[in-house]
Amino acid sequence: MGLIAAFVVAGCRTADQSAGWRPLFPEDGVPQGWLVRHWADLRNPPPADTEWRVSGGVLSNTGSRGTWLISEAEYGDFDLDYEFKLGERGNSGCALRAPLFGDPAFDGLELQMVDLRYNPEATPSELTGSLYRAVAPRRQCYRATDWNRYQITCRGPHIRVLLNGEQILDVNLDAQTASAKRHNGEEAPALRLRPRRGHIGFQELSRDDVRVQVRNARIRPLD
């Protein structure tokens, strides 16, 4: 690396730190400060063969499908920025303000990450960019089997999401009074009743051998 390039990189890192950004996965290996739980209820342990690991700066997992990687830390208001890639039948999600019980999709918030081929009959509120089964994105700009970037802001009742540089969600949770249906058909709390503080995380529920990949994940607490 040339001297000028080295100064540029160092300057970018300093700017990131001074702006309050923190990397979520700063080191390769098993992520420290994270829990692995069952996809349908965070009170339950994952399949015994599951392992989430960072390699070359990329987070992914092995073993049986159907898990969440959940932060031990809690967050209320924050900016979250990361890139993700899925396989042709990939299914994942990002937990926002989830409690350590129940399903983040219905007891907290889940920002969906899924390839349409996972479920060709999915409704708009079940596709990438949705708050799962509650609010559909303004438009669908997911890039299949390629890297995609989420930029997420959670501030009080306001949830704002950019996907690949385009704003796809701008939601006032206080105005969301309709209930969503859980997978068993029961009604979940309306978004206005969901927690305003909780845990973040990443889900793996793909139907093929290509698992979700996450890189350049960082967070900036705002509260």
Query: What are the residue boundaries of the structural domains of the chain, listed by start?
Result: 25-221
3-state secondary structure of 131: strand
| The model scores a pTM over 0.85 | yes
What is the per-residue pLDDT for 75?
Answer: 98
CATH topology of domain 25-221: Jelly Rolls (2.60.120)
DSSP 179: P
Strands 67-71 and 199-204: antiparallel
Residue 2 neighbours by CB distance under 10 Å = 7
What is the per-residue pLDDT for 15?
Answer: 44
What is the per-residue pLDDT for 153?
Answer: 98
Residue 172's region, left for phi above 0, alpha for psi from -120 to 50, else beta, is beta
Per-10-residue mean pLDDT for the chain, 223 residues long? 42 57 98 98 97 98 96 98 98 98 98 97 97 98 97 98 98 97 96 98 96 98 93
What is the per-residue pLDDT for 18?
Answer: 56
